[in-house]
Amino acid sequence: LAEWYQGPNWETGKNIWWKLRRADSQPWALAGLWSEWTDPQTGEVKANYTMITCNCDGHPLLARLHKPNPTLPPDQQDKRAVAHIDKADWDAWLHGSEEQALGLIKPQPADVFDLADAANTDMLLAARPPVPRNQGNLI
């Protein structure tokens, strides 16, 4: 469980880290996989862990995160976000079939998120001075 995690927003031209929190202040359950293996040389048991991500290109909030790849058109960016598992789905995630687990890997609706950091970025964008048009030449 995590109270929040971070994602980078580049809309201002500079990286602004957004804290991604739930609007209801509950912790996130982040989708992940883990395993253990034994180091053959030392006998030490080591843990491996990875967080599962999902495509969020069409998401109104999560698609605003991560720096766009300038070599790809907007419809091919493949923006990704950590998948969240709702408390009601924990049993299916931990003990269900592969099909059940795959069905849970999707972005959360935007209204689940605390939008404070997005609103702050929107204010910064709105406060930017307009780009001058055709100022002419001084020389």
Cα–Cα distance measured from residue 65 to residue 17, given in angstroms and rounded to the nearest whole number = 9
Give the domains, in start order, of the chain with CATH numbers: 4-126 (3.90.1680.10)
* pLDDT value for 138: 56
Per-residue model confidence as pLDDT tens digits over 30-59: 999 999 999 999 999 999 999 999 999 889
pTM for the full predicted model: 0.76
Residue 131 has pLDDT above 80, yes or no: no
Q: Categorize the per-residue pLDDT at 139 as very low, low, confident or very high, splitting at 50, 70 and 90.
A: low
Per-residue model confidence as pLDDT tens digits over 1-32: 999 999 999 988 888 899 999 999 999 999 99
Per-residue model confidence as pLDDT tens digits over 89-124: 999 999 999 999 999 999 999 999 998 888 888 887
**83 Cβ contact partners less than 8 Å away, ≥ 6 residues apart:** 30, 31, 51, 52, 53, 54, 104, 105, 106, 107
User: What is the largest distance, in Å, between two alpha-carbon atoms of the chain?
Assistant: 75
DSSP state of 60: T
Which residues is 2 bridged to in the sheet?
Answer: 28
Nearest-Å Rg of the Cα atoms of the chain is 20
DSSP state of 22: B
DSSP state of 71: T
Residue 125 has pLDDT above 90, yes or no: no
* pLDDT value for 40: 97
